[in-house]
Amino acid sequence: MKNITYTKTGDQGQTSLIGGLRVPKYDDRVEAYGTVDELSAFIGVLYDQEGVTAEMRKVLDTIQNKLFTIESHFALDENSEVKKMIPMLTADDVAFLEHEIDVMNEQLPELKSFVIPGGNLKASHAHVCRTVCRRAERQGWLLASQHPVDTLDLKYLNRLSDYFFVLSRYFGFLDKVDENNWKSTK
């Protein structure tokens, strides 16, 4: 296979969806799958942090693979025959995230306030993943207002942002870092 480092096909502000349909680079589908891609890149940064265990990396690998599936769904020309070849998420994928959240939550102190991001580099990176994931979910819902979107993809993104919130707290807990709780003034 020949290495292609540039195609020049996007030089006029258009790109191809899976299936070949050309759309503007500002198309909602491009914005949605691009945001999921951005999330996956931030997960890669989190993955590479010192102190992220092999078990955590296995979970992050699973998540990145599911995100690639969601990216493919968002990047798909819904009229393309290619649609039949792209795997679907299942309820088990969401249940997997819920299980991981529950395992961490069992060890964490009760949440009594909003948590201000920070504490250590791993926790901060998990918060960045959480916020980018929330944006990806919003982009997915916007996309769903105009194109067919599997609501399980959106449910997965919703649960994934919860996972990253709990993971950020878990990193602080493991490193014995006090949470920076929001102190509201009345």
pLDDT tens per residue across span 118-128: 778 999 999 99
* Confidence at 88, pLDDT banded by 50, 70, 90: very high
Give the pLDDT score at 13. 74
Give the pLDDT score at 184. 74
Dihedrals phi, psi of 126, to nearest 5 degrees: -65, -40
Dihedrals phi, psi of 157, to nearest 5 degrees: -65, -40
DSSP symbol at 178? P
Ordered by start, the domain boundaries in the chain are 22-179
Give the pLDDT score at 10. 62
* Confidence at 49, pLDDT banded by 50, 70, 90: very high
Rg of the chain over CA atoms, in angstroms? Answer: 18
Give the C-alpha separation, 136 to 159, whole Å: 12
The mean pLDDT value for 99-126 works out to 86
Specify the pTM.
0.88
Does domain 22-179 sit in CATH 1.20.1200.10?
Answer: yes
Q: Buried b / exposed e across 135-174, counting CB within 10 Å, b at 16+?
A: bbbebbeebbeeeebbebbbbbbbbbbbbbbbbbbbbbbe
